[in-house]
A and B are shown apart, each in its own frame.
Chain A
Amino acid sequence: MRNLKTTYFEDLQLFKDGVHLFWSAVLILALFTLPFFVKTYYLTILNLMAVNVIVALGLNLLVGNTGQISLGHAGFVAIGAYTTVLLLKLGVPFIFAFVAAGVVSALFGILLGIPSLKLEGPYLAIATLAFGLAVTTLIGRMDFLGGRMGMNVPKLQIKWMGLKYDHALYYIILSITIIAVIAMRNILRSRIGRAFQAIRDSDIAAAAIGIHLTRYKLYSFGLSALFAGAAGSLWALYLGFINPTLFSFILSINFLVIIVLGGLGSITGSILGAVVLTYLNLQLENVVDIPLLGAALYKFSEVFMTTTGIANVSWVLTGFILILVVLYEPLGLYGLWLRTKIFWKRWPF
């Protein structure tokens, strides 16, 4: 039973052991065969989850692994989405539009990183927040980007083994998500990833052992924005319509909540957080439909609250769950998973 890494080579492995490799392969296979068994509605949920996973991976790199904070990630998602749509409208193939979305977003990330190098804590929070606000306001003013009204996303022309559009979209998003997860794992187990973690743990010590703080902080901002931009590109495809109000401050907060709920500085955490929170948000939207509890809530609302505002219960519950997770499991869902695993391994001790 080993939980700690004892050699350098273990730190470099992509998969810890055969068990991990096996179950990862099973999961990927299951996800790829899923469209043949379930309704399209579930695929759209999975698409949304996958997009959130990609943003969460990027944000977790910045917040969890490098120790910076960002309240403006919705801005990067917006940049990715708008770049994609603009290029698609010009007739550029999706694959190039997708790459361009990531690259443009990463450039903006580096641009935001430059004034943020000296800042920390709430000061950095405000700088990134300002960036997010600026992006949506500027997009709202530009007519060739559709202004406040937004614009339609051109449908992709997919003629590929006779797949339905929904299925094809699902496969595109799924493949990119898997690539993103593996890429993030590769970043974290390489020299760059270890430099990020050194900066998070102590920037002075990191500088003392020869890590170029400026360069690596900019890398972190850039890579994080790259993931967000890529996710934005996919999100635009998934939604079919974009406008600036989609990319509000609330969305940035939502991403932050995802990674804290899932577990800071962990890839598994990003995935778990994105999946669970997306599902929770969707389920809590129609809280009245839950059997028994829904009826009781309705009665309660009639007597003490208003029945028109009953949808707001979802906010209360989300907030409460969030607080509970942070209070009782500071490492998030990933910490819960670790504890469960260790509990069964050590049982009955």
Chain B
Amino acid sequence: MLGQLIVSSLVVGSIYALMALAMSITYKASEVPNFSQGEMAMMSTYVTFVLLSSFGLSFYPAMLLTVGFAFLLGLILEFFFLRRAKNPTPLNLIVITIGFQLMLYGLAGWKWGSEQRQINLPFSESKVIVQNDVFALTELNLATLVIAFIVLLVIYLLIQKTKLGLAMKACQQNVNASKMNGISAYRIMAISFGISSIVGAIAGVLVAPLLTLDPSMMWDPLLKGFAAAVLGGMKSLHGVVIGGLLLGLIENLFGFYISIEFKSVVAFAIIVLVLYFKPSGLFDKHYVRKV
């Protein structure tokens, strides 16, 4: 039983890890926790749904278009709203993302209503692929794990090995110095939001068959992703991923052995406890500001 629990925690945890990674990419770029992340992912999932059911596309082309849409959505948020703020404080930027979130939520409800829909992925929820004494793995679970791993790998390579990643890191460390070296900080910021939106969209599509597709479906994954990112340390890439997996593990183990109703609360309580001893998360260095 424990083996099964751990496997299903890893599946849920990898979705949290994706959301956490999405939060972390934009946080590193702009020091703003993006509250519209969940709604952006929800919108992208609806786009996949429409492409699959109304236009009859097959999964992979639909996914490709969704990724494009998600990237565009991230660019829109950065270009039309965040960039326009004059001398913003972090709180002002947070409220802009909340405003964007409300707009997307309203638009989705307006266009698709609040009825719950079912999205059909090519990975079945009931077909068991791996079955042994310790655990069973369905097709959907396996697909979630594999896709999440690929996304994490791609993001890692993007940030560590490419010129774009180098520019992103430079902008995070010192905007003015990177501008002087010929990096367009605005463009890098916009691309960061686009990439994070893509990561969120993939998480949304993967989580949609587990939940039902409605405008408020990403609320819970968003909060969990945010919490996971904080647990690992918002600015540490491997930290947020480990944070996501840990959160999934804590939740599922507690939910199974003690009480299913309190599992979210306890997960959050543990995070607060961790933060009490490590104020910048588990894997991030805590910088004390000097005068």
**Interface set of A (CB-CB < 8 Å, partner B):** 63, 69, 115, 118-123, 125-127, 129-131, 133-134, 137-138, 141, 204-205, 249, 253, 256-257, 260, 264, 301, 304-306, 308-323, 326-327, 330
Contact = CB atoms under 8 A, between A and B. Distances in A.
Contacts of A119: 275, 279
Contact of B268 (A134, A260, A264): A134
B230 A126 contact: yes
The 3 A-B pairs at the shortest CB distance, nearest first, are namely: A315-B106, A319-B102, A130-B268
A71 to B, nearest CB: 10
Contacts of B280: 123
A309 B114 contact: yes
A115 B91 CA distance: 21
A211 to B, nearest CB: 15
B230 A323 contact: no
B122 interface: no
21 contacts: A69-B91, A115-B275, A115-B276, A122-B33, A122-B226, A123-B281, A125-B33, A126-B230, A306-B111, A309-B109, A309-B110, A311-B109, A312-B109, A313-B106, A315-B102, A316-B110, A326-B88, A326-B92, A326-B95, A327-B96, A330-B87
B218 to A, nearest CB: 13
Given A313-B106, A320-B99, A326-B95, A308 B272 contact: no
Given A118-B279, A122-B229, 17 more contacts: A118-B276, A119-B275, A121-B31, A123-B230, A126-B271, A129-B223, A130-B272, A133-B265, A256-B95, A305-B110, A313-B110, A315-B105, A318-B102, A319-B106, A321-B99, A323-B96, A327-B81
A309 B223 CA distance: 25
B161 interface: no
Contact of A123 (B91, B95, B106, B275): B275
Contacts of A316: 102-103, 106-107, 110
Contact of A319 (B88, B103, B108, B113): B103
| Residue of A138, A205, A323 with most chain B CB atoms under a 10 A cut-off | A323
Given A137-B264, A301-B110, A322-B99, A330 B92 contact: yes
A319 B101 contact: yes
| Residue of B31, B114, B272 with most chain A CB atoms under a 10 A cut-off | B272
B96 A326 contact: yes
A311 B107 CA distance: 10
Given A309-B109, A315-B109, A316-B110, A137 B84 contact: no
Interface of B: 27, 31, 33, 81, 84-92, 95-96, 98-114, 215, 219, 223, 226-227, 229-230, 234, 261-262, 264-265, 268-269, 271-273, 275-276, 279-281, 289, 291
B92 A309 contact: no
B233 to A, nearest CB: 9
Contacts of B84: 327
Q: By DSSP majority rule, is chain A's interface helix, strand, loop, or mixed?
A: helix
B225 to A, nearest CB: 11
B135 to A, nearest CB: 30
Contacts of A69: 91
Contacts of B230: 122-123, 126
Contacts of A318: 99, 102, 106
Contact of B265 (A138, A317, A327): A138
Contact of A309 (B87, B112, B219, B276): B112
Given A133-B265, A309-B111, A63 B106 contact: no
A54 B5 CA distance: 46
Contacts of B92: 260, 326, 330
B95 A257 contact: yes
Nearest to B111: A305
Nearest to B88: A330
A326 B265 contact: no
Contacts of B87: 330
A137 B264 CA distance: 9
B95 A322 contact: yes
A108 to B, nearest CB: 14
A126 B226 contact: yes
| Residue of B88, B229, B273, B280 with most chain A CB atoms under a 10 A cut-off | B280
Contacts of A304: 111
Nearest to B104: A319
A257 B92 CA distance: 10
Contacts of A257: 95, 98
A187 to B, nearest CB: 21
Nearest to A135: B265
Contacts of B229: 122
Contacts of B264: 133, 137
A251 B90 CA distance: 21
A323 B276 contact: no
Nearest to B97: A323
| Residue of A123, A306, A313 with most chain B CB atoms under a 10 A cut-off | A123
A249 B230 CA distance: 18
Contact of A63 (B27, B91, B110, B114): B91
A326 B85 contact: yes
Contacts of A315: 102-103, 105-106, 109
Contact of B102 (A118, A123, A260, A322): A322
Given A260-B92, A309-B110, A312-B106, A134 B265 contact: yes
Contacts of A141: 261-262
A138 B259 CA distance: 13
Nearest to B215: A312
Nearest to A254: B98
Contacts of A314: 106
A253 B94 CA distance: 11
| Residue of B33, B86, B107, B110 with most chain A CB atoms under a 10 A cut-off | B110
